[in-house]
Chain A
Amino acid sequence: MQLTVNGEVCCLEGDDRLTTLLREQGVNDRRVALVVNSRVLSMADAAEYRLCENDRIDILTLAGGG
């Protein structure tokens, strides 16, 4: 299915689990926040979340800032 991940269009084949996408993105055990279609998704909900065609997913973490 076609998704937009961190602003870039990508395809995920054969699996509709968000956890699969995160693994493919290299997130692994890192602490991240997830925004799916402009709503923050808790990590607990992310474990159960099934992706839909054209979902927009943002994966966020912390960086230096003032």
Chain B
Amino acid sequence: MMACKKCSSSPVFRLSGGEKLCKQCFTDYFEGKARKTIRQFGMLEDNDNVAVALSGGKDSTAVLNILHRMQQRNKNFRLFAVLIDEGISGYRPETIKSAKAFCKKNSIPLRIYSFKQHFGLTLDQMMKKTRLIPCSVCGVLRRYLINKAARELKATKLVTGHNADDESQVIIMNILRGNNEASARLGPITGVVRDKKFVVRVKPLYFLLEKEVTAYAFLNGLLDKLNECKYAHESYRGEVRDMLNTMEARHPGTKTGILNSFIEILQLLKQKYKAKGAVGSCRLCREPSSGDVCKACDIIRQLKG
């Protein structure tokens, strides 16, 4: 077994290019790559008030850990975490516990917004009243509430833990469905010009593979026990994920290739779909909406009958 490429210690991780790294060199590589992405895309600016969308899972905890370490070195931005409690029994209480423990240990302010408090129902209660797919309901309401929370808390940036696997899966799903308009809303930074009520979202882990995020979380004591949402059954995404993982194993660099190709054409997509991106306000809640009533209010109306 060959030693770490950088320092000759015992290796713990093999990058997709073949280089092996020890614990410290892998951690340096991982954090360095996230910082490079932040710089490359201008994700953070001086005096930013940065909200991290924290779920208590490995991705969001990893990105919060990196930002916390950056902030300790250079205090030119403020940092806090926001957690959305959808009300999913058997899943969310455990992850809230992890999130609270991490924030307490690192003195990071944590704000929790719940579906129950804002929509009057937990996701579990909603699912008893509808045949809508839980992930669709949750996705719409969670995006709505996290944006509202970030804005209320005066965040200038909203950081998410999306990684290279998440993004390459969505890019391929949109291609397979012929939905370039949805792809125009992707990328390392989103929500920049659409509406003042949208807090700009940034993804520092954009070029880091899910396997790398898990390794970083494990090596730095951030990986809690496997916690799976009982509603998770994204069959179409699951198929795309399996396909990309097979390709990645046979042809290392596949996922990064998808992201790099996508970044090259992203501006063209944004230009093409710019006019359609203009948004008004929902007449019920005044939050940004492309229609008369936003998707979140539409779902809540259906649920409350």
| Chain A bound to chain B | no
A residues lining the B interface (CB < 8 Å): none
B residues lining the A interface (CB < 8 Å): none
